[in-house]
Structure 1
Amino acid sequence: LRVVDVSDRFSGAFAARLFGDFGAEVILAEPPEGHALRCEPPFLNGVSGEDRSTVHAYVNWNKRSIVINHEDELADLIRSADVVITTSDSPPRPALRQLRNDAVHVCITAHGLGDSLTGCPGNTLTHSARVGWSYINGYRDEPPLSMPRHQGGVVGGVTGFITAAAALRRRDQGPSEHIDVSELEAFALTVHPWGVAAVYHDTGGTPGPSGGRRRGDPGPLWELADGRMNFGLADFHNWTEAMDALNLPELGRRQELIPDVGRHSQNMRDVVIGMAGTLPKLQRWDIFHQLAKLRCVIGVVQDFDDIGSNEQVAARNFLVETTIDGQSVRAAGAPAKLSPSPWQLYKPAPLFDEDRVAVLKPRTTTPRTTTPTPDDPSEGPLNGIRVLSFGQAWSGTFGTELLALLGADVVQVGSLHRPDVFRRISQQVPKGVVDTSRPQHPLNTQGHYNSVNLHKREITLDLRQERGKELLWQLLPKFDILADNFRPTVMPSWGITLEKLHEIRPGMIWASVSGYGETGPYWDYPANGATTEPMAGLSSIHGYEGDRGMNTGGLYPDPIGGYFVVATILAALAHRDRTGEAQRVDLSMMEAVTTVCGDALLEYDATGSLPAPGGNHHPRIAPHNNYQTADGEWLALATETQDSWERFAHLIGISDEKFATLASRKANEMRLDEVVASWCKRQNVDEAEELLSKIGVAAARVAPLYELYSRPDPHFEASEFIRGIEHPEAGKTWLPGRPWRFSAAKSCPIRPAPCVGQHSHEVLTGELGLSDGEYQELVDNGITGTLDD
């Protein structure tokens, strides 16, 4: 498979790198001045150079470089390509007309093509502002806080890889597939459940699951003698023993706190006060292991020095070595383990134009393996692929939702006796969706669940009963993929192994998401998004500049795990189609999140400086910040190029020579922020955003997360990314959908999330040939059914 990377953004480069990681030949087609990321700091040992950027080293490995001096050279490359990746929202280059009928072109841009924002610059700062991240990050009464570094590019890149890999499965149908991917929309899917749920509950606003704290408030990161930790107190098992470990024995024997069910609603003030007194005397790793063995959800804040020496990281051989200008450095490895076909780093990022001779050699083509093509491309490129999902909460359900939105038939396996935790957020129908004209159940009307389970079917099975297990084993051979995000002990306890799955369905793929993966000393330790952020290093680089770091206002590891498990599943499908081998996908959320900030680990080795939070600033660009406006709103603003700076400077009347160049603006950033803040303080936020966007300045109002799903921004509604979806019990609500558009494999309307067991009769009678009487017997015995049976 040949991939031609014509990108000039992080997202496109990262998408292309993922193809290389999974074995494709990737050609980096560079302009004469070099790929844009060659100029991105930091640099090896602090010395700039075209081959010394740590960002280039991270996103351009597993590629070969050729400089394109003439359009004819690019046309020849595109003619030979199976996949072409671009990142420009300008009119397509003439060379793209050479794309073969069986090839795929994916264009990843800030805002997508054909959108009202098309052509407006955007980056992680403005994406964070538009999708609600900046609003819920940071401290109350302090400036909104962007997500760190290149997160918008990472998410846009993995989405681009996913869509292109999926499109390759229908390439025999022709014509060539052109895919439009929006970084902004893909990024919105990393935070939306909290906004949707708040609208369901009619709260009028939301700080997210972890935001809204004032500086100095206790948690979610607590000080210990030698560092900081996150404690998921409300979900602690073995409460009494856990409080003993924290030297709080009296609190451990309070009867109202001992059951984990209902602890969320208890007053934890005394626990908070007690922990603030005892934790500073305790050692973080001692407490981590003691409590994890008691099934308590906790995490240690690790910086990238800690990551490099962590025992779990070492046991799973997660870190890889590459080189920058000849110097060996460590980097984050595979976001998920794939076997028997492995992820591999086989080549460092290329030197400028180093592969010209090799790339221009006549290419010997080999007959490619054809894959089954979908009968109805309107269902999506994965039509014909079937997934049996034991996803729960967010990471597993979101990953399988992406597969469903790409056309796979996803059957979720639920339970009547222990429904998904996202169904159990509240014991009442949320007041924002109460409708006395229709039957409603609390379990079917929770915004968290309904926002991450679109386009699926659901059955219920009681796997405590032998008949329930028998039905599961009868269903398994009918599916291509088995997905779960249980603890690694659960599925094997049912007798599930890759060998057994291959025996009953040759070539089956089993994909699991867990906190730490299925191997290593932490393999059976509990984890969630709030504990994974610190464990993965993210909390050490997210936060206000000069601070020690903090958790995000959301639960970022869950959607990151979902995105990367889908990417790895698609690589596994391609391998399965070539070889017939069964595939095991083992995703550790800790590793996946370290991957999205993996350039920071590489930077530490390359520069010797420990990465720290940068706030809303950028290592190269200035101005790049959130500024308050006259109406009390906040405006994300960045001038990414010299041209955009000059237009901005002319607009607001800046002529000071110390701001004349990119380097001088960065050197005088504090003073520049004061000047820009003074101008913004006199502006209306919406008018300023519109004016700045027209002159090529990246600008975006910091939008409240709640607002996005109560009265969506017109551009989200016009692009149909956020649309009203009718649910049989919750009614019509605003929900985000597909952050991509296919030119050939058109997408069908999105179906709502299923009610509990909604499709049990349909699946069990249709798939297994059960009669209505046999099905009713299962219902009578509590093995399957719906809430109304």
Structure 2
Amino acid sequence: MSDPNAPLHGIRVLELGTMYAAPTVGRMLRDFGAQVIKVEDPETGDFARHWTPQKEGLSLGFTRLNAGKSSIGIDLRTDRGRELVRRLAAKVDVVIESFRPGRLETWGLGYAELSAANPGLVLVRVSGFGQTGPYSELPGFGTVAETASGFAHVNGWADKPPTSPPFGFADSIAGISAAMGAAMALFRRERTGRGEEVDVALYEPLMFILGDMILKYTATGEIQDRVGNGTGSASPRGIYQAADGKWLSIAASNQGIAKRLFHAMGQPELLDDSRFATNPARMENNEVLQAKVIDWVASYSREEALGILEKFEVVSSAVNDSSDIVVDPHFLERTLVEVKGEELLKSVLMPGPILHMRESARPNYDGVPRIGQHTDALLGELIGESAESIAELRAAGVIGGND
């Protein structure tokens, strides 16, 4: 049970989505008090269960997105399975789905059908290109969103190929955005009693966070290209190697920080040089200035350089790998959590909620559900299926899993 003070305590969510973006929505809502019921194929489950890395057959990626959820095994390819989902949707506040647009309607599970039985329902839909537009029927995963949005084109170095990130970047951003949409729809429902259909395309939140790339082109005709660790808008900024081979970042993204950086470097006279006196001038002479910062950082160990930068209040950080993060006292106190109730995952850490609220406690991540682990209990509790009916549905292959 969630903390009674959690903002979404008492909200019930039915998650029909698989793999990454839609389960991220469920995780976001679950983190802040919602009960999340995950509908899975009774035989194979969510394909994310098969992702690597794994620990003794348990997918760590699936664990991160689904710990603490309940699982019902229902075969959505059957008429009776879809009828069970229709009845479950009448008993929840939010339904999350990530099928290709039109699939739910084909199954008789579209917003019109579900909201007829549950007018306050919020249906959150995550798809590659959204529910409308010429591309709406195209399949789309995160990699496609990262390339279609323009992200891959600007990510990386000018002399290297366009680069996608080695993790579910577009899926995560879309999932967080969709969770915000769900929360806004629930807030409006408090005032009006009406539900809502939330439509999130994987590429759109990512295209938004790319900054001024599109505005810049339509205003000036200039296409933004890859600039490595620079921003293309402020200097000096980047990632630099210290004398001990370790790396750190510096972001002198406004005039005050640039001034403090030059003092930290023992070169305050740089501000008197017309090439470096203002940000536009620094951008014009970025390569020359970057060489000076590179040389300064390379003359110290990372710890020494960061100590000097901290003394002068220059925005900077170590470039952490996983081994750095899991021993850092700040991250241990504020950010990292354990998965409870899993013998396989003793002392395993993962990132907790993406934000903190003073009046609600940090959630527990109490184990990873087996496929269909909660099928019998939830079908009985939510839609009144008897033990005999559940047994018959299982014998017919409509439901299943590891009860």
TM-score (norm 2): 0.90
| 1:485-504 per-position Cα deviation (integer Å, ceiling 9, x unaligned) | 11113211210122221221
Cα-to-partner distance string for 1:162-195 (whole Å, 9 max, x where unaligned): xxxxxxxxxxxxxxxxxxxxxxxxxxxxxxxxxx
**Contact 1:640–1:697 (Cα < 8 Å) also in 2:** no
The alignment status of 1:494 with 2:107, answered yes or no, reads yes
Show the counterpart of 1:758: 373
**CA 546–452 in structure 1, closer or farther in 2 if over 3 Å, else same:** same
What is the identity, as a one-letter code, of the residue corresponding to 2:157? Answer: Y
The answer to whether structure 1 residue 686 and structure 2 residue 300 are counterparts is: no
| Counterpart contact for 1:391–1:484, Cα < 8 Å | yes
**Cα distance in structure 1, aligned partners of 2:284 and 2:103:** 55
The residue number in structure 2 matching 1:553 is 166
Partner of 2:292: 675
Other-structure match for 1:451: 64
- Check 1:463–1:619 CA distance in 2 against 1; reply closer, same or farther (3 A cut): closer
**What is the distance in 2 between the residues matched to 1:514 and 1:739?**
23
Task: Give the Å deviation of 1:376.
Answer: 5.6
Match of residue 120, structure 2, among 504, 507, 512: 507
Q: Is the 8 A contact 1:725 1:751 kept in 2?
A: yes
Are the aligned partners of 1:498 and 1:582 in contact in 2 as well (CA < 8 Å)? no
How far apart are 1:745 and its partner, in Å? 3.1
CA-based RMSD: 2.6
SS, match of residue 399 in structure 2: coil
By how many angstroms is 1:583 displaced? 1.5
Distance 2:362 2:93 in 1: 22
Q: Distance in 2 between matches of 1:542 and 1:642?
A: 26
> 3-state SS of the aligned residue for 1:516?
coil
Pair 561,612 (structure 1): closer, same or farther in 2 beyond 3 Å: same
Letter matched to residue 728 of structure 1: E
Corresponding position of 2:212: 599
Secondary structure of 2:305's partner? helix
1:533 is aligned, of 135, 138, 146, to 146
Q: 1:707 to 1:727 in 2, by over 3 A?
A: farther
Q: Does 1:723 align with 2:349?
A: no
The structure-2 alpha-carbon separation of the partners of 1:403 and 1:605, relative to structure 1 and needing over 3 Å to count, comes to same
- Could you tell me how far apart the structure 1 residues matched to 2:123 and 2:243 are? 54
State which of 693, 707, 720 in structure 1 corresponds to 2:323.
Answer: 707
- Taking the TM superposition and a 5 Å limit, the aligned residue runs for 1:30-109 are none
CA contact (8 A) 1:761 1:785 kept: no
1:414 to 8, 26, 40: 40
How far off its partner does 1:712 sit? Answer: 4.5
Give matches, 1:287-306, under 5 Å: none
User: CA offset at residue 403 of structure 1?
Assistant: 0.8
Residue in structure 1 matched with residue 349 of structure 2 by the alignment: 734
Structure 1 residues 673 and 660: alpha-carbon distance in aligned structure 2, compared to 1, 3 A threshold: same
**In structure 2, what is the equivalent of residue 469 of structure 1?**
82
| TM-score after normalising by structure 1 | 0.47
Please name the residue that 1:425 is paired with. 51
Shift of 1:449: 0.6
Q: Which residue, 240, 245, 253 being the options, matches 1:627?
A: 240
Matches of 2:94 and 2:400 in 1, distance apart?
Answer: 24
| Counterparts of 2:50 and 2:400, CA distance in 1 | 18
CA positional deviation for 1:394:
0.7
5 Å-filtered alignment, 1:164-183, equals: none
Matches within 5 A, 1:131-530: 377-378=4-5, 380-425=6-51, 430=54, 433-434=55-56, 442=57, 445-530=58-143
Residue deviations 1:315-351 (CA, integer Å, cap 9, x gap): xxxxxxxxxxxxxxxxxxxxxxxxxxxxxxxxxxxxx
Alpha-carbon separation, structure 1, partners of 2:255 and 2:174: 37
Sort the Cα spacing of 1:714 and 1:415 in 2 relative to 1 into closer, same or farther, 3 A.
same
- 8 Å contact kept, 1:538–1:597: yes
Q: Which residue of 2 aligns with 1:79?
A: none
Which structure 1 residue ranges, 4+ long, deviate > 6 Å from structure 2? none
Q: 1:708 to 1:409 in 2, by over 3 A?
A: farther
Structure 2 gaps of 5+ residues are: none
In the TM superposition, residue 404 of structure 1 has moved relative to its aligned partner by 0.8
Runs of 5+ unmatched residues, structure 1: 1-373, 435-441
Go from structure 1 to structure 2 and tell me whether the alpha carbon gap of 1:638 and 1:766 turns closer, same or farther (over 3 Å shift): same
Residue 740 of structure 1 aligns to a residue in which SS? coil
Q: Structure 1 residues 682 and 562, CA, compared in 2 at 3 Å: closer, same or farther?
A: same
* 8 Å Cα contact 2:16-2:97 kept in structure 1: yes
Compute the displacement of 1:506 (Å).
1.4
- State the Cα distance separating 1:479 from its structure 2 match: 0.7
8 Å Cα contact 1:536/1:591 also seen in 2: yes
CA distance in 2, matches of 1:601, 1:620: 14
For 1:544, the equivalent position in structure 2 comes to: 157
